[in-house]
Amino acid sequence: MSIDLHSVLGEITERRRNHRDMKVATMTVVVFFSDSGVGDWARDRTHALAVKHPSRVIVLDGTQDHAMQVVGSSCDAHADCVKTRGDWIELGVRDSGPEALRSAVSTLSLPEAPVVLIWVAAGIGEDPRFATLSERMRTVVYNSSVLDSDDQALRELMTFVKAHPNVAICDLAYLRLAPWQESIALFFDGKDVIRELFDLRRVEITCGSDSEAYYLLGWLASRLEWTPCSPNAFCNRFGVQIDFSIQREGRARRIRRVALKSSGTEFVAEVDDDKAEAIILTVSGEKEHARRARPINNVDIATLVERAILTGQDRVFVESLMAAGDLLQRRKVNA
């Protein structure tokens, strides 16, 4: 079913005429969700993004029919908003097909600015709406861990990336790992400790949802040329086995602890609780090192999206995703 945008366009024109338009436009943000349970989350995070970046926001609400059409300002629901007044458009698209969505987004997008799609829905592997919209986007932002569907979202993402290698896509679950990646890399900086990296025998991850754990394992595997050799182990290129375990604990989308063990040294990065401001790094055993602390810097979604836009196609992300996918495949076969 097509979407009648006549009244929406009229309202946008009226708002510009009344000097309520923005001065600078950095992008058009298109948000799609089809589950009312994540609608508030999606709106709230997109509001936070629109307050920082003067954008035109197009919310495609897959839970409402086409009678629902709203045109407002990104400031309307946000007390922090002083300078930026981006347009905020909501459309009910429950009954709309991919071409209707594509047409609506094309009509409503700002012509000079990049378009970013934030997709908060499951089933991307089989959803033609996602495939159609994502092909026209500068960046596609996915969030595999917000759906809390174990590893299904990650599998779908991997399938999609394999089928659409030219779409610049990122996953917030992966972007959130940055402080942990930095902390783990830091363990092995320096000539006296780098050998331990190639002598790792065990990895233990404790976190609140699966995507982050698989991404971390995928990242390590892709960097160190590990391949899955059992449902709970990788093997390095010399055939040495590296066992791993994932323990689910704490808040969703938050890592609590990562431990890496070589034959003589244990490297542990952990936080005390979900609200901790620092990752505590301890190294015990042969390569013992003074206790250290690194800020977590749980950056907001606006910063993550900005990073995603700047990064474009992230090779390390894709390789980490593929390695995580190989692992999931191995576990599925054995299950």
Partner 1 sequence: MIQTPAQPGGDGAAFNPLRAGIASDRITDPCSIVFFGASGDLFKRMLLPAIYSMRLRGTLPTDFALVGFSRTGYTDDAFRDYCKQQLDTFMPDGQKPQGELWEDFSRRVSYISADFKDGTCFTQLKGLLEKNDKDFGTGGNHVFYLSTPPPVFPEIVKQLRTCGLDPHSNETGWTRLVVEKPFGTDLETARALQRTIERAFPESSVYRIDHYLGKEPVQDIMALRFANTIFEPIWNRNYVQSIQITAAETLGVEERGGYYDNAGALRDMIQNHVTNLLALVAMEPPISSAADDIRSEKYKVLSAISPPAYDEVGAMSVRGQYGPGTIDGHQVKGYRQEDDVAPDSNTETFAAVKYEINNWRWAGVPFYLRSGKRLARKVSEIAVTFKAIPHRFYGDSTDTIDPNMLVIKIQPDEGIAMRFEAKVPGPKDHVRSVYMDFSYGIGFGVQSPPAYERLIGDVMRGDQTLFTRWDAVERAWEIVTPVLETWTNTKDFSFPNYASGGQGPQAASTLFPGWRQL
Binding site for partner 1 (CB under 8 A): 22-24, 26, 49, 52-54, 83-84, 175, 178-179, 181-182, 184-186, 188-191, 194, 197, 220, 223-225, 272, 276-278, 280-281, 289-295, 297, 302-303, 306-307, 311, 314-316, 319
Q: Residue 72: helix, strand or coil by DSSP?
A: strand
Helix axes 210-224, 152-163, angle to 10 degrees: 50
121/302 with CB nearer partner 1: 302
Would you tell me how many other CB atoms lie within 10 Å of the CB of residue 42? 22
Q: Could you give the CA distance from residue 327 to residue 221 in angstroms, rounded to a whole number?
A: 9
Distance in Å, CB of 156 to partner 1, minimum: 23
Distance in Å, CB of 90 to partner 1, minimum: 22
34/211 with CB nearer partner 1: 211
Q: Which residue has the tokens 């709203």?
A: 70
Q: Could you give the CA distance from residue 168 to residue 134 in angstroms, rounded to a whole number?
A: 9
178/246 with CB nearer partner 1: 178
Distance in Å, CB of 178 to partner 1, minimum: 4
Distance in Å, CB of 268 to partner 1, minimum: 14
Beta strands in the chain (DSSP E): 27-33, 55-61, 69-73, 87-92, 115-120, 139-142, 169-171, 200-207, 227-230, 233-235, 241-248, 255-262, 265-270, 278-285, 289-295
Distance in Å, CB of 301 to partner 1, minimum: 10
155/254 with CB nearer partner 1: 254
78/289 with CB nearer partner 1: 289
